[in-house]
Amino acid sequence: EDQVTQSPEALRLQEGESSSLNCSYTVSGLRGLFWYRQDPGKGPEFLFTLYSAGEEKEKERLKATLTKKESFLHITAPKPEDSATYLCAVQAGGKLIFGQGTELSVKP
């Protein structure tokens, strides 16, 4: 069964304290792994797509990496405006399967 698991469920950081979010997946025939950011009251906002093991992508303080079984979202020197829920999803055929998300809170 295709499945996506994210950890931790919630993460509290001090401003400037770097950390990583994990996304483990099992899917038959990965067609893309996605990271989204979701702010309260809003729809998910696309961040990255990763297609194959070893691939890395960066955007400002965020860096996403991919292995054959998991993906990491590294946050370097986070700021309060990085506070949001981060969602991981995998494409399996026509479906998009989401993990439950990691709620990130960054305190000044």
CA distance 74 to 83: 14
CA distance 79 to 98: 25
Interface residue with another protein, options 71, 101, 104, 106 (CB under 8 A):
101
Question: Does position 89 bind another protein by CB under 8 A?
Answer: yes
Residue 39 is classified by DSSP as -
Beta carbons of 95 and 48 less than 8 angstroms apart: no
Interface residue with another protein, options 55, 63, 72, 97 (CB under 8 A):
97
Query: Nearer to another protein by C-beta: 46 or 108?
Result: 46
Footprint (CB under 8 A) of another protein, residues 13-52: 31-32, 34, 41-46, 49, 51
Give the position of tokens 């483990």.
24
Torsional sign, CA 98, 7, 59, 70: negative
> How many residues of this chain bind another protein (CB under 8 A)?
22
What are the residues binding another protein (CB under 8 A)? 31-32, 34, 41-46, 49, 51, 87, 89, 91, 94-101
